[in-house]
Structure 1
Amino acid sequence: MTNKKPWLYLAAIAALLLLLKYSDALLGGVRLLATLLTPLLLGCAVAYVLNIIVTRIESLPPLRDPSSRLYRVRRPISIVGALVGITVIVALLVIIIIPQLADAFRVVLLGVPPAVNSFLNWLDTLDLSQPQLEEWLRALNVNWPDLFKRATSYLTSGVGNVFNSAVSLLGALGGTVMQSFIALIFALYLLAGKDRLNRQFHALADTYLPERFTRRLWYLLATAHDTFTRFFVGQFTEAIIIGVLCTLGMALFRLPYATMIGTLVGATALLPVVGAYLGAGIGAFMILTVNPLQALGFLIFIAVLQQLEGNLIYPRVVGTSIGLPGIWVLAAVTVGGGIGGIAGMLLAVPVTATFYRLLRTDVQRRQAPPAGPQD
């Protein structure tokens, strides 16, 4: 029998050379395909988030009872209920939380100029030798008239391109709105026919894939779905709890900007590990512009609240659903934030938790002693 390995190696090398030669065309095709699939992928993500709410609405007694009149229309009722719930949450964000956050950042921005003026006044009290500074500036040998002319020309050309930039921005915004609309419609179709799609995917997998691979694939998807669902629900619940506790605690201790800072801490707490500290830092600066002693008291209060949240609230609300040690949560947030920003932070923790659960289960299975012979 002829040895086929040399021919396989030659075919692999030829394919690699073709990929290198036509890499630009292939990358262009991949970018075009990604652009075309973006609304559909976004629709899948929207459908997944909505499905968390749809599943919980369908589990209500009037909808899950087969003898109920609402059982046949449970899916449309659940989808409409999920959309209404999301709309109410967005409306609350727009009406309540976003103005509070805007006021918080306005307070921070108003507090920056006095801090800068205080720093400049402190510099004025120092004994700086102005002749030496002028001599140092002359030693730089900068052509100030030419530099001013170039800056003026750059600003003039920039003002001339404002209209083009506005047109491009409007075009991009219109494309984003259209993609979002297509994604929403696609998500609704997925939710309406999710049972049928589930049966079809199972039938395809059972027909064309090995049984062992199919069994592992369903286990992987079930573990990932359970981890993602519990993480996002728990993280949202934990953010609400920490925001309410921060607001009530600040009101109890008569600290300024209680509602604004509590809202800010709750909103930033959606980011694992680093979110609450970010909100606490901004809140401390806001209080510092009013009373430095109260800012110190706020930091002590936040430290106690963080200990309460980390040892009592988070383990019960989120920690038990993830089962991921704190060091890996911090590592996942750091790497995910560096790769994908805020979205990377949110996705990195459940992805890492999924792999951690799978790896832990596999290690326990391999280390388990073999079953002895039965008598």
Structure 2
Amino acid sequence: MKKFNIKEFQYLDIVILVIVGYIFLKIIDNLPGILNCIGSVYNIASPFIFGLVIAYILNPLVKLIEKRLKLNRGLSILLSYILIIGILTLSSVYLFPKLYSSILDIINNIPYITKTVQQWFNDFLQQPKIQDLINSGFVNINPNIIIPKISSIAMSSLNAVASTALSFTNSFIKVILGFLIAIYILFDKEKICDFFLKIMYVIFKERNGNILLEVLSNLNKMIGTYIGIKAIDSLIIAVLAFIGLSIIGSQYALLLAVIVGLTNMIPYIGPFAGILVGFLINVFVSPVLGFVVAGYLLLLQQFDAWILDPKLIGNKVGLSPLLVLFAVTLGGGFYGIIGMLLAAPIMSVIKIYLTKFLDNYNFNFMNKK
């Protein structure tokens, strides 16, 4: 019996192309269903994803306790969790109730804010020059249309807050499960890493596996260094913001300090977001107070940008402002707040390897032109 030789099949490449094309078209036709399926898998797996993230964050603390206190893995994890639970408990008792009260007070004041904006708008329209402009027919402004739109925006904001609160509750339950899963990940981290390393070498082989491992190692180092130091920097800024805003007499000084600290984690764009929130919260109480708060937060951000940030972070990221802005915009567009936080260190690693790649080429001919 003659053995089948695949090389004798003349039209194999055409058949494969047709099959691949057919599969691709089927995927396109059923894309919504496939995306829903992926979303369902993600929802099921999300506690494990949270567990991996929590274990990644807590791992340096566990290693530090293991090394300094000479304790075994189980006791190191236990002490780490006691420390984290203690911080969360203190926050729940002293910090979170005040933040919740401030947020609730702002929501309750939305009708008053709407009325204030309406009054400002009416006063603006009553100015003689604006009245002449309206009467000329060049500009058609109808307060009866604009004012209901302001109320509609306010109601939409309330609905968005309610939806966010519900989403936060669901995520909170997954985070609690993630904390439990993280215990097992931290306890068996060497075995888990060894398993994934073997899988990686099977898929990418030794040479490419080593390259990928080096990239992941640099990425881990860059993210750990940047996020850790930036968190300390933002905590200092939050404390200084709270002290200054309390002295100024700002509304919701504690809430604003927390917002300023959190937004400070996002390079360039974040600080301006914190300043804007501080201005908007206070300007409805007093326009002068709004500008004073914005001015103080702007000075604080300048202190951070020119003195504190260079002292702590220095040039560890090694990116120009343009590249950072591009990375933050791109990261925010794809992955929201998390993408913005991780954008700078990830872009820094990309720049390192792109620079190495370009260094392999000779560009002397460019200087001869």
TM-score (norm 2): 0.71
3-state SS, counterpart of residue 272 of structure 1? coil
Q: Given the superposition, is the C-alpha separation of residues 99 and 282 from structure 1 closer, same or farther in structure 2, using an over 3 Å criterion?
A: farther
Q: Which among 227, 233, 237 is matched to residue 222 of structure 2?
A: 227
Partner letter of residue 64 of structure 2? R
Provide the residue aligned with 2:113 in structure 1: 112
Q: State how 1:24-63 maps to structure 2 within 5 Å.
A: 24=30, 30-60=38-68, 62-63=69-70
**Deviation at residue 280 of structure 1 after TM alignment:** 1.7
Q: Which among 276, 279, 282 is matched to residue 274 of structure 2?
A: 279
Structure 1, unaligned runs of 5 or more: 64-69, 138-165, 370-375
**Deviation at residue 273 of structure 1 after TM alignment:** 2.5
Distance 1:90 1:7 in 2: 63
3-state SS, counterpart of residue 211 of structure 2? helix
Q: Given the superposition, is the C-alpha separation of residues 367 and 76 from structure 1 closer, same or farther in structure 2, using an over 3 Å criterion?
A: farther
Distance 2:92 2:354 in 1: 42
Q: Which among 60, 77, 80 is matched to residue 79 of structure 1?
A: 77
* Stretch moving more, 96-105 or 326-335: 96-105
Q: Which among 21, 25, 28 is matched to residue 20 of structure 1?
A: 25
Provide the residue aligned with 1:326 in structure 2: 321
Is the 2:47–2:178 Cα contact (8 Å) retained in structure 1?
yes
Distance 1:207 1:215 in 2: 12
Instruction: State yes or no: 1:7 paired with 2:12.
Output: yes
**Deviation at residue 91 of structure 1 after TM alignment:** 3.1
**Deviation at residue 15 of structure 1 after TM alignment:** 2.3
Q: Which among 189, 212, 215 is matched to residue 210 of structure 2?
A: 215
Instruction: State yes or no: 1:238 paired with 2:233.
Output: yes
Q: Which among 182, 189, 214 is matched to residue 184 of structure 2?
A: 189
Partner letter of residue 328 of structure 1? L
Structure 2, unaligned runs of 5 or more: 143-162, 365-369
**Deviation at residue 220 of structure 1 after TM alignment:** 0.8
Distance 1:6 1:203 in 2: 38
Is the 1:230–1:322 Cα contact (8 Å) retained in structure 2?
no
**Deviation at residue 243 of structure 1 after TM alignment:** 0.9
3-state SS, counterpart of residue 268 of structure 2? coil
Percent identity between the two aligned chains: 23
**Deviation at residue 107 of structure 1 after TM alignment:** 6.3
How many residues align? The count is 326
Partner letter of residue 94 of structure 1? S
Distance 1:37 1:307 in 2: 42
Q: State how 1:267-346 maps to structure 2 within 5 Å.
A: 267-346=262-341
Partner letter of residue 11 of structure 1? I
Distance 1:263 1:339 in 2: 25
Q: Given the superposition, is the C-alpha separation of residues 322 and 56 from structure 1 closer, same or farther in structure 2, using an over 3 Å criterion?
A: farther
Q: Given the superposition, is the C-alpha separation of residues 93 and 178 from structure 1 closer, same or farther in structure 2, using an over 3 Å criterion?
A: closer
Q: Given the superposition, is the C-alpha separation of residues 187 and 366 from structure 1 closer, same or farther in structure 2, using an over 3 Å criterion?
A: farther
Q: Given the superposition, is the C-alpha separation of residues 294 and 191 from structure 1 closer, same or farther in structure 2, using an over 3 Å criterion?
A: same
* Stretch moving more, 232-241 or 120-129: 120-129
**Deviation at residue 223 of structure 1 after TM alignment:** 0.8
3-state SS, counterpart of residue 209 of structure 2? helix
Distance 1:116 1:220 in 2: 52
* Stretch moving more, 99-108 or 224-233: 99-108
Q: Report Cα offsets for 1:97-141 as digits up to 9, x if no partner.
A: 4344445546656462562353255168468799x9xxx99xxxx
Distance 1:80 1:46 in 2: 14
**Deviation at residue 80 of structure 1 after TM alignment:** 1.8
Q: Given the superposition, is the C-alpha separation of residues 217 and 266 from structure 1 closer, same or farther in structure 2, using an over 3 Å criterion?
A: same
Q: Given the superposition, is the C-alpha separation of residues 357 and 207 from structure 1 closer, same or farther in structure 2, using an over 3 Å criterion?
A: same
3-state SS, counterpart of residue 122 of structure 1? helix
Q: Given the superposition, is the C-alpha separation of residues 17 and 268 from structure 1 closer, same or farther in structure 2, using an over 3 Å criterion?
A: same
Instruction: State yes or no: 1:98 paired with 2:99.
Output: no
Instruction: State yes or no: 1:349 paired with 2:344.
Output: yes
Distance 2:101 2:271 in 1: 18
Q: Given the superposition, is the C-alpha separation of residues 100 and 236 from structure 1 closer, same or farther in structure 2, using an over 3 Å criterion?
A: farther
Is the 2:260–2:271 Cα contact (8 Å) retained in structure 1?
yes
TM-score (norm 1): 0.70
**Deviation at residue 14 of structure 1 after TM alignment:** 0.7
**Deviation at residue 9 of structure 1 after TM alignment:** 4.4
Q: Which among 244, 248, 269 is matched to residue 243 of structure 2?
A: 248
Distance 1:125 1:294 in 2: 25
**Deviation at residue 278 of structure 1 after TM alignment:** 1.8
Distance 2:25 2:217 in 1: 38
Partner letter of residue 10 of structure 1? V
Distance 2:173 2:257 in 1: 35
Q: Which among 351, 359, 362 is matched to residue 354 of structure 2?
A: 359
Provide the residue aligned with 1:262 in structure 2: 257
Partner letter of residue 116 of structure 1? V
Q: Given the superposition, is the C-alpha separation of residues 366 and 292 from structure 1 closer, same or farther in structure 2, using an over 3 Å criterion?
A: same
